[in-house]
Amino acid sequence: MTTEIQDNPELTACDAAEQEETVAIRVEDLIVGRTIQNPIYDAHGVLLLAEGAVITSRFKELLRDRKQDHVEIHNEDASTVSLNALAGNPLIEGASPGIFSTELTEKLDRLIESGSMFVANTGPALRDSMVVHGCKGYDKEHRENLFDQQQAFGESLDNMMRGALKGSRPSGSEIAGIAANYLTQLTSDADCVISVAMEAGSDETLSQHCLQMSLLGMAIGAELNLDEGNIRNIGLCGLVHDWGMVKVQEKIGKWRRRLEPLELMEMRKHPIFSLEMLEEIAGIPSIVPVVCYQVHEQPNGEGYPRQRSQNMIHLFARILNVAHWYVSLTSSREDRPALMPYAAMEYMLRMTNEKTIDSSPMRALLNLLSLFPVGSFVTLTDGSAARVIRRNGDHYTSPIVQIIQTADGKNADLENPDMIIDLKQSDLEIDQALPTPGKDEIDLTSELFDGQV
């Protein structure tokens, strides 16, 4: 059966009746290799693919060439050719010179230029105490509690940063408590807590962005064999580094959109605004302002606010910069959808070669999430669809997955432990990455993606 798009504007009465039983599916969500039992039409009733045909990469390319974002899929085929029917399933659901200087920034600049920003462990590496769960699913009740906790932390952090903007003094001990809680959760089940944070942060508020960066930064620090004290400080920096964006939002509105040149200049002042707000928080470790000042610097010297290069950027800032890119690339903006997690990792590996991000924390992120990141969706070589639930050591392309849909499009029993597969020990392999059900994610082939965050 050919996969060339069939331009046939003549529809019979029967064809028209069939179209009333269709649903619009994004082209990006179509699963390659799935067979359709009914014809596929575009929004204008043009026949694109005949019944009994197979969805192929070529078919999706032809649709993109036509600038076609959606196709009409018969209701009987909708759950087979995409995962969007699972979007509401609770078992599935569960980030320079010319910028003004201040007395504080000049003090930090002198500290940075003195070359005294080394990092040393004073205790054992936290990684040695982290529990490895292997081929095991998540504890359902614990996962639900983590979702509630993530939302509560987000509300608390949002209140603190907006209160600080209005002159109140946030509680340093409360902020530190969030980082300490994350540290405990990471030690007990890093895969579970990271997947929850990525899902719970789908509202893409500033507070959730900071929470995701804090958690991911701490996890990267653990992968780099840092000790508990250093990792706690990374988490604390992640929680407060972007507070200055609240002031930017007051001036230019939403931050997840393409900014005009003057707006962009204002946005790049937010590390300085964050420093001003941090001065009002008692008990913050002295390293926190230094790191928050540098999170958006890049090893190639093209970051901001001071265009520092590799050796002049604190390790914690380089770690959080990697976390920022992953969180930002997998979040939507007004001017572009989110990247699929696999596509974000692919793009960041390219950035490593360009020295836009530091290779050391990037390798740690790869160890932490795998090439097909924890929480993402894939199809396997037998045609089944699965969700990545755990990393698998340095086997980046063979994570531990949970089958959520069989090759014939039927939903799998998510309570069945046999649906959890260690791909390192299986004949099955990952065939393709899929968008997250219910999210308008894209891959790197899309013209909508320009690499800006």
Backbone angles phi, psi at 397, to 5 degrees: -95, 5
Tell which wins on pLDDT, 250 or 64: 64
For residue 417, count CB atoms less than 10 angstroms from its CB and return exposed for 0-12, middle for 13-18, buried for 19 or more.
Answer: exposed
Tell which wins on pLDDT, 1 or 190: 190
Q: Name the average pLDDT for the chain.
A: 86
| 180-234 pLDDT tens trace | 999 999 999 999 999 998 887 666 788 999 999 999 999 999 999 999 999 999 9
Tell me the percentage of the chain whose pLDDT exceeds 90: 52
The answer to whether 63 and 48 are in contact (CB under 8 A) is yes
Antiparallel, parallel or unpaired: β 420-422 and 70-74: unpaired
Tell me the percentage of the chain whose pLDDT exceeds 70: 88
- The answer to whether the Cα torsion of 255, 258, 260, 264 is positive or negative is positive
Least Cα distance to 194 among 94, 294, 291, 329 occurs for 94
The yes-or-no verdict on residue 85 having pLDDT over 80 is no
pLDDT band at 453 (very low <50, low <70, confident <90, very high): low
| 349-377 pLDDT tens trace | 999 998 999 999 999 999 999 999 999 99
How much is the average pLDDT of 263-288? Answer: 87
The H or E element that residue 401 is part of is strand 400-405
pLDDT given at position 14 = 40
Separation between Cα atoms, residue 422 and residue 139, nearest integer Å: 18
pLDDT band at 86 (very low <50, low <70, confident <90, very high): low
pLDDT given at position 254 = 63
